[in-house]
Amino acid sequence: MARITADPAIASVLFAATIVTSVTGIFVTIFFLFSNPGFAYRVAAAILVGIVGLLSFLRHSVFYRSDQARMGWIQDRPEFQFEVGYANLAIGLIALAAAGLNWGPLACGISLLTYGTYLLCALLLHVYEAVCVVEIRGRATKSAINTAFFVAALCIFGFLALAGSHAAPF
C-alpha cells in the first residue's frame, strides 16, 4: 500500500491549542478553587477533560494523517489511533455534560480522575520510550514531563472534587 504524505500543520495547531487550553484550565481552576470550589470543579471538568478531550479527538481521529506526520509515525492501519480519539471524545463529552448540566462535584471528580487514569497509562508509555527507545528519547522525555504535569493536575483536582462531594473515604 502506498504511503500518503501528510502535512503536520493541522495536528501541530491542535496540539498547541491543547497545551494552551490545559494551562488556561489549570490556572482558571486554581483561581476559582479558593472562592467557589464547586464552580472550580465544573471548570476543570469542562476545560481540562471536555475541551482537551474534544481537541484530542480531532487530532487523533479526524486529522489522524496530520497527527501521524507530526509524530513522525506513519502507518497504514490507523485503527488504534481512531480508538484513542474515540476514548478522548467519550470521556470529554461526559465531562462536558457533568459540568454543563451541573451534576455536582462527584461527577466532575470522577471525570477528572477517569481522564487522569487514562493519561497515566499514556505517561507510562512515554516513560518507557524515554528510557528504552534511544531514537526518540528526547521527544519522549518531553512528552513524559508534560503528561506527568497534566496527570498530576487532573488527579489533584479530581481528588479535591471528590473530597468536596464528601464521597467515601473523604
The pLDDT score that the predictor gives to residue 6 is: 86
How far out from the chain centre does Cα 98 lie? 17
Mean of the per-residue pLDDT values of the chain: 95
Task: Report yes or no on whether pTM surpasses 0.85.
Answer: yes
Q: What ranges in the chain are assigned the alpha helix state H?
A: 9-33, 37-44, 52-57, 64-71, 79-100, 105-132, 137-164
Which tens digit of pLDDT belongs to each residue from 52-68?
A: 999 999 999 999 999 99
* pLDDT of 1 higher than 50: no
Q: How confident is the model at residue 103 (pLDDT cuts 50, 70, 90)?
A: very high
C-alpha distance from residue 113 to each of 13, 108, 118 (Å): 27, 9, 8
Percent of the chain with pLDDT over 70: 97
Residue 59: all three cell numbers together: 487530532
Which tens digit of pLDDT belongs to each residue from 144-168?
A: 999 999 999 999 999 999 999 999 8
Residue 65 has φ and ψ, to the nearest 5°, of -65, -40
Residue 142: all three cell numbers together: 518531553
Closest by CA position to 86, among listed 114, 117, 109, 54: 54
How many CB atoms are located within 10 Å of the residue 96 CB? 19
